């Protein structure tokens, strides 16, 4: 893994043992040649593994015995760019405490310098142009080191020894503050001070961060937050907030030890925590949502802003809704000129966009919900692929995956492919990732849906394209990251995914055994009234469920009948009867919408997953015993949701209890199918298993019955993990039998 100070570590270790030789970066990794007495070489090899400082890790190593040459000292040689690339690029790393101490120290030459970094922190993937990871191969190549930085860079005892992005005020990047029309207002620390003054006054500042622009505003100022929502066209979806330190984050939310560990890790993602009622945050930061996305400073620039201001800051992606984040100054001025009042930028180019990652802790383990800064493109080990293969992912939460040799490289989060800008970003990432590793794809993989933009991009390549069913990809992604190769029952629950039978799948149970997968069970089918409109309008789902259970002549029940006009009811009934824009579906996600609506949480999703997320929070962290869902004989078996209708409308129990029982019923449904199938390992996947209440209760029930549950952790359980599953399916030629 290049970019963690591995070569300096090796040099110090070898020098301390009195060994001769060298270490060098090559396209296939680090090459070490060490010469000395046999017992010293054995000690060197043991300590190489045992003492490697985080976040570095050794993926694999090979050893050869050579004839001694009589080398008297140990040195770091220039990198060798020849040969096939197999070295691993490192994600961008959150600023370390040592660098922050220097930034806050008035006596240090990097006092208040926003770009301080060392071998333990700083930009990596976002500035990397090509491997091997050396300054000349990054966007820092334009900055010539000053004598002081050169001395640190060449001193084996210094923690900046061979730190490729090394910089200081004398020779490194500089801040600049721009007006929306691009006029230069200030530079260096004056630019920072002016931006801070603007934030105090409730203005919106676009900040050029480590992997792209962010939009900042005072999170305690309701008017300022509302103004940001209006300009960004993001009406309801929660914003993340930047805290000065862990103690401050704990004043805003309930941060446990596991959440604290993730917040302070070198990845430094946004972490979802339960919001404290007394948190000094504007209601519009996370409207009607008890969860709060919190992050700690990821760069010295963020740290200076947070500490100088002493205010909570909204820190959200620098884009308009459904667009990728901006990385270039001209692009930001063009696309965000109507959003931001000021632009706090700098002259270090960003080579590729890398958004903030999002993590939540479930059952004491981190689960990555959006995989980007701090995690991408760290690889997932897979069974050896005999040819490079590129998978294009799904339509929502898009990402690509490159399979090379024993590694699957999942790209950074791209986003929903709803705009031309987003599609162009996916096209760019699908070219950059193979280019970084010098691996021209011999084959590609895509979703089964022919109308996804990702599918069209994949099919445009002049190589064989493997179409992989959506839910099979979900399951295979979990199996790949969990290193499971035994027969398993995979449970893939989400909103929608095209099935090979033309139906809309979404509540699937698949047995995966080697190269064969079989659909053994699913949720009871119903019609998806209005197609994609049903994903936003829970009334349509409830009407369809009611007519599926009781017949189309049965009047709609209250409270649904009071919010559906007679004309709407007549049109929907006709569409239901005639199967007009009303495909058969098995969607678990739509069941969550229906349950949330009848628990009084609203009739529509204001953004993807809005109603299900609020339903989870309504349950209060518990999943209680609810009605059992009968299993109807197959193939495939049907898990019958009909008993849930009576539960949702039972006004004798509180809405909190209805939500808790709903989650309990679904968890028991999974465990009952697992009992009927009888395979030891059960893989839980799909966007519905982002739900902590559902995942925890399902895992508890499975373990109580002797099963081994596995679920996504390093790769998102939502569609952000689809590309990994597609790549594995195509490489192993896994076929789905319906």
pLDDT at 382 over 60: yes
pLDDT at 84 over 60: no
In the DSSP assignment, the letter for residue 547 is H
Q: How far is CA 273 from CA 254, 295, 358, 360, 700, in A?
A: 6, 10, 11, 7, 22
Other CB atoms closer than 10 Å to residue 608's CB: what's the count? 18
| Look-up of token digits 């298993």 | 689
Q: How far is CA 195 from the centre of its chain?
A: 29
pLDDT at 634 over 90: no
Q: How far is CA 190 from the centre of its chain?
A: 35
Q: How far is CA 706 from the centre of its chain?
A: 31
Would you tell me the crossing angle of helices 38-50 and 6-16 to the nearest 10 degrees? 150
121 - beta bridge partners?
118
Query: Judging by DSSP bridges, how do beta strands 380-391 and 401-410 pair with one another?
Result: antiparallel
Annotate 585-647 with DSSP letters as a single string.
E--HHHHHHHHHHHTTS-SB-SSTTHHHHHHHHHTTT--------PEEPSSSEEE--THHHHH
How many distinct helices (H) and strands (E) make up the chain? Answer: 21, 29
Q: Residue 9 in contact with residue 57, Cβ under 8 Å? A: no
Helix (H, G, I), strand (E, B), or coil: what is residue 670?
Answer: helix
> 616 CB contacts (<8 Å, ≥6 apart)?
659, 663, 691, 692, 693, 694
Whether omega for the bond prior to residue 311 falls within 30 degrees of 0, making it cis, is no
Average pLDDT in the chain: 93
| Look-up of token digits 């220097």 | 102
Query: Judging by DSSP bridges, how do beta strands 205-208 and 213-218 pair with one another?
Result: antiparallel
End-to-end CA distance of the chain: 42
What the block records as the tokens of 458 is 């994949």
Amino acid 53: pLDDT: 72
- Give the model confidence (pLDDT) of 243-274 as tens digits: 999 999 999 999 999 999 999 999 999 999 99
Question: Domain map of the chain by residue range?
Answer: 6-76, 175-346
Distance CA(344)–CA(332), nearest Å, equals 11
Other CB atoms closer than 10 Å to residue 716's CB: what's the count? 28
Banded pLDDT at 52 (limits 50, 70, 90): confident
- Give the model confidence (pLDDT) of 574-597 as tens digits: 999 999 999 999 999 999 999 999
pLDDT at 25 over 90: no
Q: Which CB contacts under 8 angstroms, 24+ apart, belong to 284-288? A: 284/222, 284/225, 284/226, 284/229, 285/219, 285/225, 285/238, 285/239, 285/241, 285/314, 286/238, 286/239, 287/236, 287/238, 288/236, 288/614
Amino acid 79: pLDDT: 64
Among 466, 482, 585, 464, residue whose Cα is nearest residue 528: 585
Sign of CA dihedral 671, 676, 682, 686: negative
What the block records as the tokens of 174 is 């500089």
The winner for highest mean pLDDT among 1-5, 317-321, 417-421 is: 417-421
Amino acid 60: pLDDT: 66
Distance CA(166)–CA(400), nearest Å, equals 31
Torsion of CA 449, 450, 453, 456, to 10 degrees: 130
Distance CA(590)–CA(611), nearest Å, equals 10
32 - beta bridge partners?
23
Mean pLDDT value across residues 471-482: 96
Distance CA(433)–CA(435), nearest Å, equals 5
Phi, psi of 43 (to 5 degrees): -65, -40
In the DSSP assignment, the letter for residue 138 is B
- Give the model confidence (pLDDT) of 104-153 as tens digits: 999 999 999 999 999 889 999 999 999 888 899 999 999 999 999 999 99
Banded pLDDT at 28 (limits 50, 70, 90): low
Amino acid 686: pLDDT: 97
Sign of CA dihedral 478, 480, 481, 486: positive
What the block records as the tokens of 706 is 């002797």
> 67 CB contacts (<8 Å, ≥6 apart)?
none
Distance CA(460)–CA(158), nearest Å, equals 50
* Widest pairwise Cα distance in the chain: 93
Other CB atoms closer than 10 Å to residue 97's CB: what's the count? 10
- Give the model confidence (pLDDT) of 507-536 as tens digits: 999 999 999 999 999 999 999 999 989 999
493 - beta bridge partners?
507
| Identical fold, 6-76 and 175-346 | no
| Look-up of token digits 């009406």 | 235
CATH of 175-346, one of 3.40.50.880, 3.90.870.10, 1.10.357.10, 1.25.50.10: 3.90.870.10
202 dihedral zone (left: phi>0; alpha: psi -120 to 50; beta): left
Other CB atoms closer than 10 Å to residue 541's CB: what's the count? 26
Amino acid 264: pLDDT: 95
> Which run of H or E residues covers position 10?
helix 6-16
Distance CA(233)–CA(606), nearest Å, equals 12
Banded pLDDT at 639 (limits 50, 70, 90): very high
Annotate 234-282 with DSSP letters as a single string.
-SSSPPEEE-SSHHHHHHHEE--HHHHHHHTSSS--EEEEEEPTT----
> 155 CB contacts (<8 Å, ≥6 apart)?
161
Please give the angle made by the CA atoms of 626, 627 and 632, to the nearest 5 degrees.
140
Phi, psi of 260 (to 5 degrees): -60, -40
Amino acid 728: pLDDT: 96
Q: Does domain 6-76 have CATH number 3.30.70.100?
A: yes
């Amino acid at each position: 893994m290049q970019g963690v100070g591995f070569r300096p570590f090796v040099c110090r270790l070898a020098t301390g043992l009195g060994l001769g030789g060298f270490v060098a970066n090559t396209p296939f990794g680090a090459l070490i040649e060490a010469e000395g007495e046999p017992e010293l070489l054995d000690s060197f090899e043991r300590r190489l593994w045992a003492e490697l400082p985080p976040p570095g890790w050794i993926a694999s190593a090979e050893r050869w015995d050579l004839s001694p040459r009589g080398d008297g000292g140990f040195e770091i040689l220039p990198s060798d760019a020849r040969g096939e690339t197999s070295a691993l690029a490192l994600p961008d790393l959150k600023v370390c405490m040592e660098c922050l101490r220097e930034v806050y120290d008035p006596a240090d030459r990097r006092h208040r310098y926003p770009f301080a970094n060392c071998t333990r922190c700083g930009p990596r993937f976002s500035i990397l142009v090509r491997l091997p990871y050396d300054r000349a191969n990054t966007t820092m190549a334009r900055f010539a080191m000053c004598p002081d930085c050169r001395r640190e860079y060449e001193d084996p005892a210094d923690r900046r020894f061979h730190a490729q992005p090394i910089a200081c005020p004398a020779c490194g990047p500089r801040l600049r503050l721009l007006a929306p029309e691009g006029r230069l207002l200030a530079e260096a620390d004056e630019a920072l001070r002016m931006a801070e003054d603007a934030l105090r006054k409730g203005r919106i500042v676009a900040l050029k961060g480590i992997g792209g622009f962010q939009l900042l505003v005072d999170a305690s100022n309701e008017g300022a937050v509302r103004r940001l929502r209006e300009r960004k066209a993001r009406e309801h979806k929660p914003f993340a907030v930047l805290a000065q330190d862990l103690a401050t984050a704990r004043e805003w939310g309930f941060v446990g030890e596991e959440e604290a560990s993730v917040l302070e890790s070198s990845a430094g993602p946004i972490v979802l925590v339960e919001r404290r009622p007394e948190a000094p945050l504007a209601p519009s930061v996370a409207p009607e949502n008890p969860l709060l996305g919190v992050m700690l400073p990821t760069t010295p620039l963020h740290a200076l802003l947070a500490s100088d201001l002493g205010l909570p800051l909204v820190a959200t992606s620098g884009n308009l809704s459904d667009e990728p984040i901006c990385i270039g100054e001209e692009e930001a001025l063009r696309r965000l000129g109507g959003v931001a009042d000021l632009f706090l930028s700098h002259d270090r180019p960003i080579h590729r966009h890398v958004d903030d990652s999002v993590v939540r802790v479930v059952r004491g383990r981190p689960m990555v919900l959006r995989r980007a800064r701090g995690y991408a493109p760290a690889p997932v080990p897979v069974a050896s692929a005999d040819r490079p293969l590129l998978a294009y992912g799904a339509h929502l939460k898009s990402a690509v995956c490159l399979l090379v040799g024993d590694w699957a490289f999942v790209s950074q989060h791209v986003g929903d492919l709803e705009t031309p800008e987003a599609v162009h970003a996916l096209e760019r990432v699908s070219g950059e990732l193979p280019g970084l590793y010098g691996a021209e794809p011999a084959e590609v993989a895509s979703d089964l849906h022919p109308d996804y933009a990702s599918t069209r991009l994949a099919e445009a390549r002049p190589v064989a394209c493997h179409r992989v069913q959506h839910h099979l990809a979900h399951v295979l992604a979990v199996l790949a990251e969990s290193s499971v190769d035994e027969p398993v029952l995979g449970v893939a629950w989400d909103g929608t995914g095209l099935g090979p039978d033309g139906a809309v799948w979404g509540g699937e149970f698949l047995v995966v055994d080697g190269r064969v997968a079989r659909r053994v069970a699913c949720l009871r089918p119903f019609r998806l009234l209005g197609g994609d409109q049903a994903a936003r309008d829970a009334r349509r789902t409830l009407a369809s469920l009611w007519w599926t259970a009781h017949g189309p002549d049965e009047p709609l029940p209250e409270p649904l009948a009071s919010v559906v006009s007679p004309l709407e009811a007549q049109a929907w009934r006709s569409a239901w009867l005639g199967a007009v824009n009303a495909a058969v579906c098995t969607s678990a996600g739509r069941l969550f919408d229906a349950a949330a609506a009848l628990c009084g949480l609203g009739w529509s999703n204001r953004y993807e997953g809005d109603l299900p997320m609020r339903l989870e929070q309504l349950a209060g962290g518990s999943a209680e015993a609810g009605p059992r869902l009968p299993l109807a004989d197959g193939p495939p078996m049907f898990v019958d949701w009909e008993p849930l209708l009576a539960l949702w409308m039972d006004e004798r129990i509180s809405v909190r209890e209805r939500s808790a029982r709903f989650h309990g019923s679904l968890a028991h449904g999974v465990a009952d199918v697992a009992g009927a199938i009888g395979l030891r390992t059960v893989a839980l996947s799909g966007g519905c298993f982002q739900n902590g209440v559902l995942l925890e209760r399902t895992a508890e029930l499975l373990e109580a019955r002797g099963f081994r549950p596995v679920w996504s952790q390093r790769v998102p359980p939502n569609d952000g993990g689809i590309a990994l599953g597609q790549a594995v399916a195509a490489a192993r030629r896994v076929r789905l039998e319906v």
